Each structure stands twice: as C-alpha cells, then as structure tokens.
Chain A
C-alpha cells in the first residue's frame, strides 16, 4: 500500500519549468530519497506536496485522500510533517518550547479555554510537556532543554528542527537536506537518527546531497534533473545507472 502518491505534478516559475510532470509513490514505512543537481526542483516538489505551493497540474494523494489545494496546516493535520532546507526554528523560544509547538495538533485548548486556564488545558499541558521531554531524550538533547534554540550549534539546531517535526507524530516526514552543513560525525548521527525514526513507524521522504548517507539509508531513490524524473530505483541500481551518472554524479558532486 502506498501512503503517498504524486501524480503528474508540474510547476512553472516564469520561464523555468521547476517541476515537470513528476510521478512517484511512497510505500508505507519506506525511506525514499529524492536526489538531483542544484536547481533540479527538489525543494519545489516538497513545497508542492506539503501545500506551500500550488502546482499548475497534477494530483497528490496522501493516505487515500487528495490533498492538493489544502492549506499547509490542513495537510499537517492529516499527518504530514516537514523540515526546511534553511533551518526555520522559532527564535526567542527554548529548545523545549520549539518542540512543544510540534505538539500543537495533539492538543485542543482554544483561545477562551487557555485564557481561563480550564482544568482540561492544564492536564493537556502536562501531557504536551511530557511528550516534548520524551522527544528531547530521543534526540539526546535533554541537557539543552532550556537553552534558546537558535543559540545551539548548527548541527543541534537541525536536530531540534527534526525533533519538532517528529513531535507532530507524522505518518510521513519530509526532510529537505537534513545533513546539509553538517560535519562527517554529525552526518553519521543524522543517518542513525533517521533510521531510528523509521522504526517509530514513520515513512520518510528525503532530499539530500550527501550520497553516502542517501545510499546508506534509502530503500528507493528518485532522481530529478531540470524538473523531470529521470530515474527511480533501489540505491545499488541508481549507482550503476549510466544516465544518472552522466547527469548527476558526473557533475563532480559524487
């Protein structure tokens, strides 16, 4: 069963066809990677799937329902979480508070209930904090809970962003270059973390330039070039695909 199906999705920016008729399926429980040279349209594709951009054509079916045309927060409510290529942490909030925002969908208190501090919002808040601490423990960041998130090292900030998305308890998690800017040790940690997230029954769709990481953890890889899908296969086959080698690995990125 496929959790996510992308069908003939296209998006144009002025003269640039950023995403051109792309289709693929993400099975339940898979780690699927999207690779491609700079400007291939990977981030645009993520924006289209998560509702931040509207496609010109196509369809995106998530968990059996069409999600195209929904607002990003509605898509998030269906169980899709994402991170951004440029870290988008909430400044002036602690690491824990950043993670707690991720619990938004799992609590209900509205404006009036929160202003009155009703008993159910108190119970809810306790549960939210407990879940937040659990995530921090999972990330190994418990010691930093009360530090301002944007003051952490870059690698730790990326971890917090990942944890925040994880706090949403998504069915599918979209990660846009989680290892960008990380050193080798941090990249390895990120790889382990992503595998451990999969064990929590989360399907993962990943954009990444670090080839060894991608080859290591992915079940299946989609290759984009100039907005078009030029290959889709298991990592070992992608590594041998002459077209991919020419277009992508041949550009000195490997």
Chain B
C-alpha cells in the first residue's frame, strides 16, 4: 500500500521539486479521487428505477452485486467510477489552478493549504460520504479480467505486483517527462520564470498543466488505495497528509524522482507498520521543518553526492589544495 501512496508523492515531486510550485493540498485531490470512487461504487441505485438507471445498467456502467445481507446492490462499476473520480479531480485542479498558480511561494502554499482544509471540512460535514465514519464496503476494482485491486488476503501477492506495476508505470511517465522538452521547460520556470517566458514558454499554461497532471496522480492513488482498503475515511484528506507528502518530496531531494520514491516507500512503510506510534504526523512535520531549516534543496539531492565525493577526495588527497 505504501506503493500507492508513492504515486501521490511522485506527482507532487514533479510539481514542487521540478516545476517549483508548492502544494499543501494534495491530500485534497487524493480524497476527491478516493471518495468519489467509493461513493459511486457503494451507493445503491436499485431504488431509483428510472430509464436513465436502466439505460446505464444496460451499457455496463452500472453493476449488480450481492450485499452483505443477501440483498442486491446496483452501483456504478469501478471502472467508470474511477474515470469519473479522476476526471473530477482534474476538473477541480483546472478550476482552482488558474487563479491559485498566479501566486508564488508562501502565498501559493497558503492557498493550496486552504484548498486542502476546505476538502477536509466538506468531507467531514457531508452525511452522504459518511461524515466522520467515511465510506466502507467498497468493492474490489477489477482492472482486467483476473486482476483486481483488493485488500483480500487471498489476493495479497497479486496486489503486491499490481501496486508495483502502477508505481513503475507512473515512474516511467514522469521520468520521460522530466527528460523531455516539457521537463526542461518546467525546470526553467522553476529557475527563472521571466527568462522562460522570454524563450516562448507559456509559463502560466505549463504551471496549470503540471498542476493538473500532479492532481491526477493523487486522484488515481486515492482511487486505488480506497479499493485496496475497501473504504476511505476523512483522515485521508487531512492537512497532515498533505504535509506528509511534501515532507517526503523534500527529504527525497526535491527535484529527484528516485529519491522521492525511495523515501516514500521507506517512510510510508514505517508509518503504516506503526513504527512512529502516536507521533506519526509529528514525525513528518518535524522532517519538513528540519529540511526547510537546514537543507533547503532537500536531502537526497544530486549535489549531495558530489559534495560527499568532494569531501572524501579532499581528505584522502591530503595535500590537495
């Protein structure tokens, strides 16, 4: 499961580390993805008999399955639910990204934080999505015939591979992007926005697009985690989750996809296993503070290796100037 969370971290890494646009609201996109797919795949429509419902059922968009008490549930199939959920997160990212990405630095951080808080409060205050209880009994997600995302212990090994498949796919997409013309353009926006603009790069549009891509990664992760866990609760949309993702990107070296992946796997694993106990959230908060204080560019950054190598050579060389 820490693999799925890595998708959020990778998406945030490209937004914040490479393109230089901070977000403390990514748990919001994760929650939009997770909650929508949970709601659509659990909300029983069999009571609404109308022609729309039967039409959708005939198209295969709705699906029937037995509920726990022997009755029958008519819900949206996980595939259209997933597509709709990710699409919704993308639409929200487009809508808020336009105005919000005009802000820089602290202001952008505050605005995305605000977005995260709004999503959290909405989730917490909405009866339809279970308020403080969240949504449970979310079915498995049959990705392909024979392959499903589910937390069932009988499917554990398969889900291990499925999760890694997603991470590898996400990593390949983002590595391709980083090494491309678009990746260079994003890095140039980070480095000197006015000069990037002078090179003909539509900086506002590029920032919006990478924000949307990054939100889509978070939403996909939200959908998958929800099906894997069989449910989602409001804590997934809390601000501390957003802080956690950002802390992992920072300790992973900011503009370093491999570092972010590595740190995400380790720290999420430790956290899910309960190694941080009741200090779980505090650990990530402290990591973020320490990095901002002492290693602005993140910890596992490319130059760090050079610096260490330099220090070793200087010591080993003795009379080197």
A-B interaction: yes
Tell me the B166-225 residues at the A interface (CB within 8 Å): 173-174, 176-177, 180-185, 187-188, 191-192, 194-203, 209-210, 213
Given A71-B197, A90-B191, do A116 and B181 touch, yes or no (CB 8 Å)?
no
Measured in the bound complex, the distance between the Cα atoms of B202 and A104 in whole Å is 10
Residues of B within 8 A of A115 (CB): 173-174, 176-177
Give the total of B residues in contact with A, Cβ under 8 Å. Answer: 28
Determine if A128 and B200 form an interchain contact, defined as CB atoms under 8 angstroms apart: no
Is there contact, CB below 8 Å, between B181 and A128? Answer: yes
Flag whether A73 is at the interface (Cβ < 8 A): yes
CA distance A90 to B212 in the complex (A): 24
Interface contact B180-A109, CB-CB below 8 Å: yes
When the two chains form the complex, which single residue of A100, A111, A124 contacts B209, counting CB atoms closer than 8 Å?
A111
- The reply to whether B184 and A105 contact each other, CB–CB distance below 8 Å, is no
Given A114-B180, A125-B180, A90 contacting B187 (CB threshold 8 A): yes
Task: Establish whether residues A81 and B187, one from each chain, have CB atoms under 8 Å apart when the complex forms.
Answer: no
Residues A116 and B201 in contact in the complex (CB < 8 Å), given A90-B188, A101-B185: no
**Among A117, A121, A124, A165, residue most surrounded by chain B Cβ atoms (within 10 Å):** A117
Q: Please give, as numbers and ranges, the residues of chain A lying within 8 Å of B199 by CB-CB distance.
A: 73, 76, 81, 101-102, 104-105, 164-165, 168
Of the residues B183, B198, B209, contact of A76 by C-beta under 8 Å? B198
Chain A 52-89 near chain B by CB (<8 Å), digits 1 or 0: 10000000000000000001111011000110100011
Closest to B303 in A: A92
Residue A97 lies at the interface, judged by CB distance under 8 Å to chain B: yes
A92 touches B255 (CB 8 A): yes
With A82-B198, A125-B181 as contacts: A101 and B176 at CB distance below 8 Å: no
Residues in B lying within 8 Å of A, measured CB to CB? 173-174, 176-177, 180-185, 187-188, 191-192, 194-203, 209-210, 213, 255
Apart from the given pairs A76-B197, A115-B176, 8 other A-B contacts in the complex at a CB distance below 8 Å: A74-B202, A84-B195, A89-B192, A90-B187, A93-B188, A107-B181, A114-B180, A117-B176
Q: List 7 A-B contacts (CB under 8 A).
A: A88-B195, A88-B198, A104-B201, A105-B199, A121-B180, A128-B181, A168-B199
